[in-house]
Structure formats: structure tokens, C-alpha cells
Chains A and B, each alone.
Chain A
Amino acid sequence: MNLYAGQVLRVDLSKGEVAKEPLREEWLKDYWGCWGLAVKYFCELVPPATDPFSPANALVIMTGPLTGTLAPTSARFGLVSKSAHTGTIFEANMGGAFGPELKFAGYDGIIITGRADALVYFRIKDGEVSLEDASAMKGQGIFATEARLKAAVGSEAKVLAIGPAGENLITFACVGSEAYRQMGRGGAGALFGSKNLKGIVCQGTGGVRVADLEAFRRKTTHWKQTSLLTEDNLWAKSDGTPILVDVTNEIGLHPTRNFSLGVNEGHAAIGPEAVRQAKLADRACAACPLGCGKFTHINGAEVEGPEYETLCLAGSNCQMNDLEQVIRFNRLCDDLGLDTISAGNTIGLAMDLTESGRRDFGLRFGQAEDYLAVVSEMANLSTARGKDLALGARKLAEKYEAQDLSTEIKGSEFPAYDPRGNYGMGLAYATSERGACHLRAFTIFASDHFNIEALAQDVVNGQNLNAIKWSMCFCDFWGTVNTEIMADLLTAGLGRPVTAEELDRAGERIWNLTRLYNLKAGFTGADDRLPRKIMEQKLGNGPNEGRVFSKEDFARMLQIYYQLRGWDAAGVPTKEKLAELGLQPL
């Protein structure tokens, strides 16, 4: 096949069996790859009422058609499953180089079900595939696990692995790869853990074919030069995501001190200039010329990063204006296998509870020693407070009646943009299929941060575009990529005409299918909500001082969103909308 490998791996961990099966080609024109195709496989395989930790839940890992080619930033791949952190269907995608390696080994994806009796890893070396004993890696961090699995296969093998957090079923545990790349949100690591799957190692020596290599190379070069490597995107090369520390403080929506402030007065200490001072090298995912990863080093502590989300949630939100400590925190989370957004957000909440005298966790804003110690306590469940914080923000707040202080939606902790400073982000968080998330729609660059009608439309457009963009495995940071460019590359790669219109419709179709799944899983429009804190507590400083995102404004915006989506007032897609998209009710 052109672009696709044409084959997926099916792993039944309960039976200890691995099989190769043809890719469902009939689904490609509607779902394409990565997110979309994985959602389709998942919805066909796993009934919505399934307990996420049960053997019946599936992990669908999927690459995209352009993964493994020179199409820039297309090396990503994704995982779709049902999250134990949110109870929703969710998608998490990752850069690095595992996705291309899987294609080179001859597979578009891996579908994993069941539960192994004891800890195993999945070994892929081209056509040789097997489940192997991983008991020697029990309790080990991601870095050590990766080294062991590479040693077992080859120095340039690529690995997905979990750390103790995943093994201990912490519901916001991540899956790591290439040391500092993660499927961060939604708790993919806990799902690996629930299946007794420590990791996957893959080495592939095959290739990816395209229909017209000359045209494909010409088009990739053209779009690379005229779209990717232009001023709109080159911040990724020059500064990487730390630039957002300055941007969000200027707008006044930079979560600070457990989302009580919108400006961190001390942000320069963890901003882009501080990161530049600490930088040793630029790092890139496979096939990406940008190299947004900034490898930093301070006083013996090093990490690729910290990225903006970590600088904010584990920096400003914990009032940790000390880059060295944030680097240490970042590295611990990456090795032990915790999502830095969820961990930073939850620790900020625990600091708030401690300082307000409501519950003493021994964690205080800006105090580094316990802030670092508690990461390991959470991942290893080794102390009472570690066990508490490992619950995540929602359950921690429920346990200590602190729902007025927590910031989560559907159990997913807020990322680093306060919706009181941009209403579009509130709607984006509330309607994301995986709970509060900034990677479905991103409206902070809107000209008016509070124009409900315009922002509702921006959120719909962003969600639809990202649904197809993540299905093509493009990176967020190719901000100027569009379905015209995607269609042009696919046309040369597949050797048949692909239109932007069919890709636009696929994006909307994928978004609606995830909605149908969540509705069947028991969610309703009432779950498209904002936390009390955002609706009732005024933002404490900066340009948006005194602002809330009121219950009334949010309710109005949500109804506008439902109408724009062709959903009824309860947030259910209408029959007409489903027919238009070629979807059946689940």
C-alpha cells in the first residue's frame, strides 16, 4: 500500500497471543489514521459501559498515513482508549520516533486487550513479535526500562514504557518514550499498568512507500518552506513553548498560586530567557525541522524541557519561581511516569489546602523540598499524602470538601490557561472529549477574549481541524497547516485525488463519534461544565483582575456551541447531523 503499512498487530494479553491482521481499509476514507482511525477501531471494539481497568478495555495505538515520511512534523502517533481518570474516551498523542519505527516494522497500529498474568513487555522486531517477561523491570523508572528494552533489541530501537506510577494504577500516569516524550493526558500509563504491560519495544528496518516520490518530495519541500518554516511557527525553533510564559502573563491568564492569580510577578525566573540560559541543545521529534525541545541543565539537573505546561502548572501554579527545581520536578515526573499537568495542578491544590489551614499536607507554595519529595510519594504510593495526591484534583477535592479550590473538568485537571482570561478556553475545556484539555481548541490568540459568539465558533472550528490534524499525526506547532496542505500531500502520497472538503468532514465526523461514545458511556450535557472556582471566584490580579466566567455566560455560550454543532439543547447530536456525517447512533 502507499503511505500505509496495511497491517495492524492484535495483542490479547489474557491469552498471551499476538496476531497480525490486515488494516481495515474500508475505514480509511472516513477516519484516515491516528486519532480518527483509532477512535473507529475503539468504538467498534469496546462497549461504552466498559470499566477502563477491565481486561475488556482496549488500547488502540495508531500511526497516520504520513508517519514515517518526510512530511514535516508528521511523526506523531496516538492512543485511544477509555480513561480511568475521566471515564471518557480519550486520545493522547506523542512525538519522538516510536510512530515511524512501528511503520518501518510493517504496522500501522497495535490493538491491545486483556490482562497479562504477570508483568510483560511486547517485543517487535520487524516480523518477529512476542510477549516477554518484564518482571526484572518491575518498579523501575521509564529511563531504566527504556535502556533495558533497547539493550534487548538494538540501540536504535524505540520504546514505550511506564514507570511505577503506571504500575500503581495512578489514573494520571503517562506513557513515556525517548525519555522525555509522553502520552501525558488521560492516564494511558495506568491503562498499561492495568494490563500488566510494562512497555513496547520496536525496531523496524522496512520502509514507507509513496505513489509518486518525486511529487511527494517536491510538495513536502514546498510546504516546509512556504508554510512550516515561516514566522508563524519559528517561535518553536527559537524559544519552544517557554515563550508562552511571557505571552500568557501578558494576557493575564497565566495560572498562578492554584489558579488564584492570572499573572505571576516572578515569571521571568522560569520564562523563555531563563530557559535559554539553561539550554544545552535543541531537540526534535523524527522528521521535524523545528526542533522545539530545549534540553536544559542547571546544577546537575537536566531534562528536555520544561515545556510551558510544566513551567506553569509545576512552576507558577506552585509559586516555584526557580527553574532548577522545575527541571528536577519535570525529570522526576518523566522518569516515574506522571503527567506533569495533572501532578502540578494537584500539588498546587494541596499547597492551597495546606496554606489555607484546611488540610495540612506539609506542602507550601514555593517550598521546594516537599514539592520534589511528594512526586515520588505519589508515584510509589509510599506515604499517606502521596496516596491522597495520587487521587488527582477531583477526588482529592471531594475527599477534603474543597471543590471550591479545584480546577478540573470530567476529572481532568486544567492545563495552563485560565478561562477567566479567555472564555473560549473554558468552552474548549468543557467540551473536550477527554476533559479539560488545551489541545482540542486553542483560542488565546483571539482578538476579543470575551466575545461569546465568535469564540464559540472558534472552538468548533478548532476542534474539527485538530480532529483531522491529529488524525494526520501533524504536530500542534505547525500552526499554519490546513486541510488544503494535508490533501495535497495525501494526493501525491496515495496517488489519488484527496480534497480538503473530505478532510474537513472527517474532522467533524471524528469529533461527533467521540461525543456519541461519551453519551453512551453515561455523560450528558450537564458534564460540559466549569468548576465553581472559575464561575464564582474572581481572578486576583493582572489585566483580568476581578473577572469570573459566570454561570449564565457559560450556559449561553454552551447553547451557542451546541447549535453550531448541530446538537440539541441537551448536547446530543441530531439525527440530521449524524446523517450528514454518515454516522449511526451507537
Chain B
Amino acid sequence: MAKHLLAFPDLCTGCNRCTYVCSAVKEGLFIPARARIHIQNFPLHGYSVPCICFQCPKPECLEACPEEAIYKNDEEVVLVDQEKCNGCGVCVPACPYGMIELNADNLAYKCDYCGGEPACVEECYPGAIVFVEPDQEQKKIKALQMKERSALSEAEKKRLERAEIFLKEARPAAAVSA
């Protein structure tokens, strides 16, 4: 069975080391705004939500791409062939999780599991992000997270909308977006 990247918001301390290392590996400098993983932080409520690509079984980014620039490899990881990408951007609103975006060169980019050794996992000391063959309980957690879909168009707003749902579950008394 293939390994999956899993996120457990209850364990996330909001340190963002995952976004720092991701951007360093992928962009060559520490530029977390360009990371393939994001953390939505709610410091007032003591909560942070890692936003990850689920490598969907039926990826909507892939289905939306008119150029067939998005494809799946043998390990079921969804990848972008930037040679084929024409920058139309329809994949961005298509992803319900806000996890594919266009870079400064107008090319789509997303998480590729670092070819099977995700750098973010190495940096996650609290264990909020793991890369494992999921057990039944972990599969259930992932399925529940995938159920929360955002219909907004901008990736950043999608991530915030979804993260606020998890915040409300974890901190029921929290006045979200107050």
C-alpha cells in the first residue's frame, strides 16, 4: 500500500518549520508563501491547522486541466507537468482544498511528496504531519478532513474557510473570525 501524508491539527504547534523547509527544497530559499504545505494559525485560540494536498483518488485539479498537464504517477501522487501547463489557472478553483496555485511564472505547482520522502515530515517535531501507510483510524481521519470542501475560488480563502471548520470542532467556544 502507498504511503499517505496525514495531518493532525490537534498536534500542530504552529511553528511552520514545514513551510520553511518545503519552500527551501522547492524554491531554493526560505519563502513559506510558496510552500506546498500551509499552516493556518489561530493564535488567540491556541490552534493551528496544517493544510496539505490529499493526493485525491479523483483529483479535481487533474480533471479540470484542459491541457492534461496534471497527471498521476505510479504511486498515486498527483503531479504537474509544467512543460504542458499553459497557466490558464482553472485547476486553482477546482481544488476544494486550496492546495494548487500558480507561481510568479504563471505555472501551476503543488505538493509532490518530494518524490517519496516529504521534507516537511522530517521537520515536524510534534508529529502533526506524518508519512505512513495509514491504518483504519488514520484513514477515517483523512476521509473526514477530505469531506470539508470549500467552494470559494481563491486558494488562500479556501484554506482559511476549511481551517475554521476544524478550529470550531477543536475549540467549540472559540469566537471564530470575531
Given contacts A205-B33, A304-B43, contact A281 B20 (CB under 8 A): no
- Kindly provide the distance from the CB of B137 to the nearest chain A CB, expressed in whole angstroms: 20
- Kindly provide the distance from the CB of B105 to the nearest chain A CB, expressed in whole angstroms: 15
- Kindly provide the distance from the CB of A451 to the nearest chain B CB, expressed in whole angstroms: 38
Q: Are B173 and A285 in touch, CB under 8 angstroms?
A: no
Q: Are A155 and B156 in touch, CB under 8 angstroms?
A: yes
Residue of B nearest to A289 (CB): B125
| A421 at interface by CB-CB < 8 Å | no
CB within 8 Å of B: which A139-167 residues: 143, 146-147, 154-156
Which chain B residues border A147 with CB–CB below 8 Å? 44, 178
Q: Are A207 and B13 in touch, CB under 8 angstroms?
A: no
Which chain B residues border A281 with CB–CB below 8 Å? 10, 13, 46-47
Q: Are A207 and B30 in touch, CB under 8 angstroms?
A: yes
In the bound assembly, the distance between CA atoms of A422 and B30 in angstroms comes to: 43
- Kindly provide the distance from the CB of B21 to the nearest chain A CB, expressed in whole angstroms: 6
Q: Are B33 and A283 in touch, CB under 8 angstroms?
A: no
Which chain B residues border A402 with CB–CB below 8 Å? none
- Kindly provide the distance from the CB of B38 to the nearest chain A CB, expressed in whole angstroms: 8
Residue of A nearest to B30 (CB): A208
| A298 at interface by CB-CB < 8 Å | no
Number of residues from B at the complex interface, CB < 8 A: 32
| B29 at interface by CB-CB < 8 Å | yes
Which chain A residues border B28 with CB–CB below 8 Å? 213
Instruction: Please classify the interface of chain A as helix (H, G, I), strand (E, B), loop, or mixed, using the class held by over half of its residues.
Output: loop
Residue of B nearest to A217 (CB): B24
In the bound assembly, the distance between CA atoms of A284 and B11 in angstroms comes to: 11
Q: Are A283 and B30 in touch, CB under 8 angstroms?
A: no
Which of A96, A213, A284, A291 is in CB contact (< 8 Å) with B29?
A: A213
Q: Are B126 and A286 in touch, CB under 8 angstroms?
A: no
| A68 at interface by CB-CB < 8 Å | yes
| A178 at interface by CB-CB < 8 Å | yes
B1-28 interface code vs A (CB 8 A; 1 in, 0 out):
0000000001001111100110110011
Q: Are A70 and B24 in touch, CB under 8 angstroms?
A: yes
Given contacts A281-B13, A291-B126, contact A207 B46 (CB under 8 A): no
Which chain A residues border B132 with CB–CB below 8 Å? none
Which of A70, A154, A181, A229 is in CB contact (< 8 Å) with B30?
A: A70
In the bound assembly, the distance between CA atoms of A321 and B51 in angstroms comes to: 40
Given contacts A70-B123, A204-B33, A208-B30, contact A295 B46 (CB under 8 A): yes
Q: Are B173 and A104 in touch, CB under 8 angstroms?
A: no
Residue of A nearest to B46 (CB): A295
Beyond known contacts A284-B13, A289-B15: 10 more, CB 8 A cutoff:
A143-B44, A205-B34, A209-B29, A281-B13, A281-B47, A283-B43, A284-B14, A286-B16, A291-B126, A302-B46
Q: Can you name 15 A-B residue pairings with CB atoms under 8 Å?
A: A69-B30, A70-B17, A70-B24, A97-B14, A155-B40, A178-B41, A178-B43, A179-B43, A207-B33, A282-B126, A284-B126, A286-B14, A287-B20, A290-B125, A295-B46
Residues of B near any A CB (own CB < 8 A): 10, 13-17, 20-21, 23-24, 27-34, 40-41, 43-44, 46-47, 123, 125-126, 156, 160, 171, 173, 178
Closest 5 CB pairs of A and B: A207-B31, A295-B46, A289-B125, A284-B13, A284-B15
